Amino acid sequence: MKQEVRTYEELEELVRPIVNSHKYVIEVQELPDNTGFKVQWQEHKTYTALDGKVFPEEIWFNEAGEMLQVQDISPEHCRNILRMILRNERELNDSYKNLTNHLIDISQQGGLINIDHEETLPTLH
């Protein structure tokens, strides 16, 4: 469900009963032109992990800002999300490797910190 409201008071009046019910996932976003708020909510689903524990379903937002629970996402969208996560993880690991190699180079040149002058670390890519 989705609704837009104009004032903070209207927002609070709409959101409070939804939150107090403890049955819904809710997202509130300020409208880009600062003319109010967009509220999205839907019944919160659960999933059972392989170890038998039950967890609340995770939430994802698509490019249009629509709130989705993971079990409601299309298989193609899930594949694209997984690709993005793996790519980000690979890029982060490369950045850590670059930083580690830089720190090793600095330490082999006589130390990590030279108090007599400032040295800046390279930016991570």
* pLDDT, mean of each 10-residue run, the chain (125 residues): 94 94 90 92 91 90 84 90 94 94 85 57 61
Rounded Cα distance between 42 and 97, Å, is 42
The three-state secondary structure class of 59 is strand
Show me where the domains of the chain are located.
2-72, 74-125
- In 36-122, where does DSSP find H-type helix? 75-108
- Positive or negative CA dihedral for 108, 112, 118, 120? positive
- Global pTM? 0.52
Rounded Cα distance between 65 and 56, Å, is 21
Pairing mode of beta strands 46-48, 37-43 = unpaired
The three-state secondary structure class of 54 is strand
